[in-house]
Structures are given as C-alpha cells and as structure tokens.
Amino acid sequence: MTHAQEALPIGPLASLREEGKNLQARPPWSRVSMTCLIGFVLSSPFSISLSQIFVYTAIIARLVSLWREVRLDAVRFPLGRPFSLFVVLTLLSAVLSDDPARSLVDSRQLFQILIFYGVIHTVADAREGLWLVKALLVAVAVASAYTLGVALLGPIDLANRVSGFYSTYMTLGGYLVIAGALAFSYTVMSGETRGRIWVAAVGALIVVTLVTTFSRNAWIGFGASAICAAAAARSMKGGALVAVLVVLALILSPPPVRKRIWSIGDLKDPTTRERIFMWESGIRMVWDRPLFGTGLDMVKRTYSRYAHPKAMKKLTGHLHNNLLHIAAERGVPALVAWVWIMVGFFREVVRSPRSFGKGPFERRFLAVGGVAAVAGFLVAGLFEYNYGDSEVAMLAYLVMALPFIGRENEVLSKGAG
C-alpha cells in the first residue's frame, strides 16, 4: 500500500456526506454523543462555556448509550488504576485542606478526565478519529486567522501579546501547542497531496499565531512536539521541517520576537528569575505539606508566606510548573499518580503493535499525533501550569484518547467471534 493510498482518498464534501451517513446509522444516544463531541472540537477555540456544554452533554449521552446500547462486559478503561488513584488523592487533599468547601468546589476539574474515556468510547474507529481531528483543525484555523488579523493591526511586540478568544495569551499558546502538534504530525506523515497541503497551511497559520503570543513555554512545547512527531513517525522529512522552522523563526521573525527567542535560558531575564523564585517557594510549600498539599485552589492563599524576598510577585495563583504545582496543591502521592498516568499513556501507546508499525494511515497518525501533542503539552508544562487551564486540559485529554480509538470495537469483535 502506498502512502497516497493510505490517506483518505475522498474529497472534503464526499467525506462530510459519508460521516453524515455514519452518524445517522448510529443508535440514538450514540448519535447524540458523537454530535456533541463534534460540537466540542468546533467550539473549543472560541468559547469555554459552549465547549463544556457540548463535551459534558456528549459524556452524559455516552453513559446512557453504554447502559442501553452497548455490551458493558466488553467496555475497557485504559489507565483506569492511575486515574482512580489520582482522583482519590485529589479529593483527600481537598477534604484535608484549610478550606475544604473551596477545594471541593475546585475539584470539579476532575470531571475533565471523563473526556478521555468519552472520546475512546464514542469515536468508532481510526477513520472517524481522523475526521474529528480535521474538524478541530478547521476550527483552529478560523480562530488563528482572526487572532493573527487582530495582531497585525498593531505592533508585534511583548506589550501586545495576543490571546484570541481566550482570557490570556498563555491559554492560547497552550491550546495552539496541541493543535499545532496534530497539524505537524499529519503534514509529515501523509502522502496524500491535497490533504497534506491544506493541513500544512493550517499548521503554518498556527505557528505564526503561536509566535504572536510571545509565550516561550509554548514555543518550547511545540518544538518538543514536532521533534517527537518526527521521531515517532521515523520521518527524515519531519526532522528537516523542524530545522527549517527554527531557521525561519530566527531569520524572518520581527526583532522583538527574535529577542524573546534569544532570552530562552537567560537566567538574568526578569521573568525567568521570577519563575525560579516561584519554584523555590513551591519546593518549600511541598516540604511543609508533602502528603496532601495545601488543597485545591489554595496555592494563591498560602503563597505569600513562601514568597522569595527578591520576588516581584508576592501573590500568585499557580507555580508555572505542572509537576511542582500538583505536588504543592495535592501532595507528592498525587504527583506520583499523575506521573503514573502520563508514563502509562506513553507505555501503552509505544507497546501497542498497532501504533507505529505497518497499518492504515489513520491508525498510525492518531498514535503519532496523540503522542506528539501530549509530549508538547508536558514539556510546555515544565514552565507553565497549563494543566490548570481548562481549555488546554480538555483538549489534552481528547488527544490522549486518539491512540486508543477503535480498540473498543476490536474487543467487541473478538467477543462476538
């Protein structure tokens, strides 16, 4: 099978009609779930409220569908043990915090984990998963075009960082890292010219928009995701594209962007020093309460007691590092559970013979794209608490599910045989 044959050979309109037919063929509750999941990916770059309505409606509909329309004995929950442990430890942290009511309210973010399982149990197969990714990229392209248009109305500099439809540029940067990883993975893997060209154009738009956020953690995260995608796909073309992107960024970027790039790793940079002070304060917080942390949403209340004397900010809501923030907020055991989730994810995908070996393009793309996107999310999270951004975390759970799509059908098929 050639690469040209591996990608979907039908055009966008024919593909849309085919997906419409497949959607109509689903049982009623499954149809509602998939429709709302499509609504989630289309609305996620624009509105957190609308995207949450869609995704949680999708999850509720899927739960009803699993009860009434599916064989429950064949349903599987990958990474169930580490996720369960993380949930229990998070709730214990909330109950034992100085303000249990406040922490328990904030623990509603745990419902985001259901997105991972909702996608796995709703999306029927890899072909449908690829179509969902393409719908997401179309929505991100529209949002990025608007954001870039706004950015070009003014000077491109650190004082005019764009945030798109989100509240902050950090959230936009974290979201674009994940979407950009999917676009990059498709571009280096697909041999189908028409599809590759439009996805590459979307990827270029995402990268340029990402530049205007001036978010160095997002730049590093996207670079890590691109390297991961090239390595996982074993693509020399991907490695060359990474090098080209770096060269273009250094040559064609406006002077303020180049200055920002060269400040990466500069320990004398004021914002870098401020992050180091935050991390030192976070370590002291963990040292004082290692088992269950301060409780959810309590870092902002306790940080002033640990603030570094030379720090410019004596109050902050997060510690600009996923690992450190989770440990300070929920305790070291919860951090261990969270690391177990992420290590388990990569282990499950890499060990699966269906991920990177020979097989349909759609299946291999979902594995490579999912791994690359999660890698970018994690690397960016070393310098920013992107796990605390609901917009970013919800999309991260969706892409975590991509490599697992279709496994439920395989289990059902084996059971039927």
pLDDT for the residue numbered 317: 82
pLDDT for the residue numbered 71: 60
Taking the CA atoms of the chain, what radius of gyration do you get in angstroms? 21
Q: b or e along 320-340 (b: 16 or more beta carbons within 10 Å of the residue's beta carbon)?
A: bbbbbbbbbbbbbbbbebbeb
Give the closest residue to 303 by CA, choosing from 274, 264, 332, 273.
Answer: 274
Tokens of 195: 């599809």
* 73: DSSP letter: G
Let me know the angle formed at the C-alpha of 400 by 384 and 223, rounded to the nearest 5 degrees: 50
Task: Using pLDDT thresholds of 50, 70 and 90, give the confidence band for residue 17.
Answer: low
Task: Using pLDDT thresholds of 50, 70 and 90, give the confidence band for residue 165.
Answer: very high
- pLDDT at residue 270 is higher than 60: yes
Mean predicted confidence (pLDDT) in 25-48: 92
pLDDT for the residue numbered 417: 35
Contact criterion met (CB below 8 Å) for 40 and 54: yes
pLDDT for the residue numbered 74: 60
Residues 406-410: contacts with CB under 8 Å, at least 24 apart = 406/123, 406/124, 406/125, 406/126, 406/129, 406/363, 407/76, 407/78, 407/120, 408/74, 408/75, 408/76, 408/120, 408/121, 409/124, 409/125
pLDDT for the residue numbered 27: 81
- pLDDT at residue 8 is higher than 60: no
- The 10s digit of each residue's pLDDT in 390-405 is 999 999 999 999 999 9
Contact criterion met (CB below 8 Å) for 185 and 179: no
Angle between helical axes of 113-122 and 48-68 (0-180°, round to 10): 50
Task: Using pLDDT thresholds of 50, 70 and 90, give the confidence band for residue 15.
Answer: low
Torsion angle (degrees, nearest 10) of CA 24, 135, 407, 36? -50
Task: Using pLDDT thresholds of 50, 70 and 90, give the confidence band for residue 128.
Answer: very high
The Cα 329–Cα 190 span in angstroms is 42
pLDDT for the residue numbered 234: 87
**Under 8 Å CB-to-CB from 27, ≥6 apart: which residues?**
65, 69
Mean pLDDT of the chain: 88
Tokens of 196: 């590759």
Task: Using pLDDT thresholds of 50, 70 and 90, give the confidence band for residue 194.
Answer: confident
Q: What percent of the chain has pLDDT over 90?
A: 64
Task: Using pLDDT thresholds of 50, 70 and 90, give the confidence band for residue 172.
Answer: very high
Q: What percent of the chain has pLDDT over 70?
A: 90
Mean predicted confidence (pLDDT) in 106-116: 96
Q: Count Cβ atoms below 10 Å from residue 87 Cβ, excluding itself.
A: 15
Contact criterion met (CB below 8 Å) for 31 and 23: yes
**Under 8 Å CB-to-CB from 402, ≥6 apart: which residues?**
119, 129, 133, 366, 367, 369, 370, 373
Task: Using pLDDT thresholds of 50, 70 and 90, give the confidence band for residue 115.
Answer: very high
- The 10s digit of each residue's pLDDT in 336-382 is 999 999 999 999 998 875 666 667 889 999 999 999 999 999 999 99
pLDDT for the residue numbered 16: 62
